Amino acid sequence: MVSSGIGEETYAPRMVFEGREETPTLRDGLLEMDDFFHDTIGKLLARSGVKPDEIDLLVVNVSMLAAVPSLTSRIVNHYKMRDDVRTFNLTGMGCSASLISVGIVSNTFRAQKDKVALVVTSESLSPNWYAGNDRSMILANCLFRSGGCAILLTNKRSLRHRCIFKLKTLVRTHHGGKDESYGCCIQKEDEQGRLGFHLAKNLPKAATRAFVDNLREISPKILPVRELVRFVAVYSMRSGAKRGKPPVINFKTGVEHFCIHTGGKAVIDGIGASLELSEHDLEPARMTLHRWGNTSASSLWYVLGYMEAKRRLKRGDRVLMISFGAGFKCNSCVWEVMRESGSGSGCGATVWDDCIQSYPPNSLANPFMAKYGWINNEDPATFVLPE
């Protein structure tokens, strides 16, 4: 916890605070999702003026909760959507599921015109909060927190003037064919039969491989030719000499902002080092991790929300989103800013509005050990449990 980069104002499922971590029920998971669905989707539809019966396509991604009827059916039922609404319910896709959902919508839009899509991305932690002692599975409790996001997408020309972002390109990389990558991030039971999420020590290596392959494919789509030529020339000279620091592509020649998945402090540091990003570039991801934790697939949108709240995004700017997920997957995309958004822009409130003035804080250190470190120095025989 001390080195996680996570603060003390994140959110967890109710059953954690009720002391029922070892006995979660299906109802806990469904209530967690319903609370999120009804609040967030309702606010989005009210703010946009879009009615539920105007939704043509609904995509929901919640990786670790499979319900019957599906979560998409719960939303369709609650909002009384049309009988012909097309629905996709994604599970098991991990933290990279948001961009997979966006990809499904994008592919559908290529074949069908004048459509409106609703993408809902979240995670159900209630049935997956680990109550055992396996270190590789306890780590997930330190990182993952409750949260979610709802997004409206459209290819209607009549709504173009209201759009805040435009999708330019999207690239998906899947290394599930490699055994090391497949097993580095997996849901399983420990030796006592407790269900949890295992994060292996080779996870950084698997993430790096997927990241490199993904960048190799997306770079020609978003960077100017002069930067690609410069990189190839420098790489060729360095390869011949076999010395010096390996060349790095300057992604700032093609994008202005970097929306990085908040998989943890090490993930943010690693991407920053690989792309030679400044602390200014990494600030949105670091602050999101501190305030909200790793909210799985929805974390990208909290990072984007920070940029909006800080009024960083200007018309014409390009935003590179990078996400990682179990499988192992690395997905990325680029958005073009169509108009400014955020507090005071006329585009509505952001999730950061009630706390953005206090960010960035003076310190990101977690006071966990200062509060509870005494446990390591006391005689367990003297412990007294509260009534």
Catalytic residue among 89, 149, 155, 257: 257
How far, in Å, CA of 242 to CA of 206, rounded? 26
How far, in Å, CA of 254 to CA of 195, rounded? 43
Catalytic residue among 61, 95, 141, 333: 95
Which residue shows structure tokens 């319900």?
Answer: 67
Sign of CA dihedral 307, 309, 313, 319: positive
In the numeric block, which tokens belong to residue 116? 């409106």
Sign of CA dihedral 304, 307, 313, 316: negative
Spatial contact of 130 and 137, defined as CB atoms under 8 Å apart: yes
What residue type is assigned to position 106 of the chain? Answer: S
Q: For this structure, is 78 an active site residue?
A: no
Q: For this structure, is 77 an active site residue?
A: no
Q: How far apart are the first and last CA of the chain?
A: 26
CB atoms within 10 A of CB 304: 24
In the numeric block, which tokens belong to residue 248? 């790095």
Catalytic residue among 174, 214, 259, 333: 174
Catalytic residue among 290, 330, 331, 333: 290
- What count of residues does the chain have? 387
Catalytic residue among 61, 149, 184, 261: 261
Burial 200-214 (b: 16+ CB within 10 A, else e): eeebeebbebbbeeb
Q: For this structure, is 174 an active site residue?
A: yes
Q: For this structure, is 38 an active site residue?
A: no
Spatial contact of 59 and 100, defined as CB atoms under 8 Å apart: no
* Collapsed DSSP state (helix, strand, coil) of residue 167: strand
Which residue shows structure tokens 């270190």?
Answer: 135
How far, in Å, CA of 34 to CA of 96, rounded? 22
Task: For residue 311, give Cα distances in angstroms to 22, 50, 284, 347, 353.
Answer: 43, 25, 12, 12, 12
Q: For this structure, is 142 an active site residue?
A: no
Q: For this structure, is 95 an active site residue?
A: yes
Catalytic residue among 155, 294, 331, 366: 294
Report the catalytic residues.
Answer: 95, 174, 257, 261, 290, 294
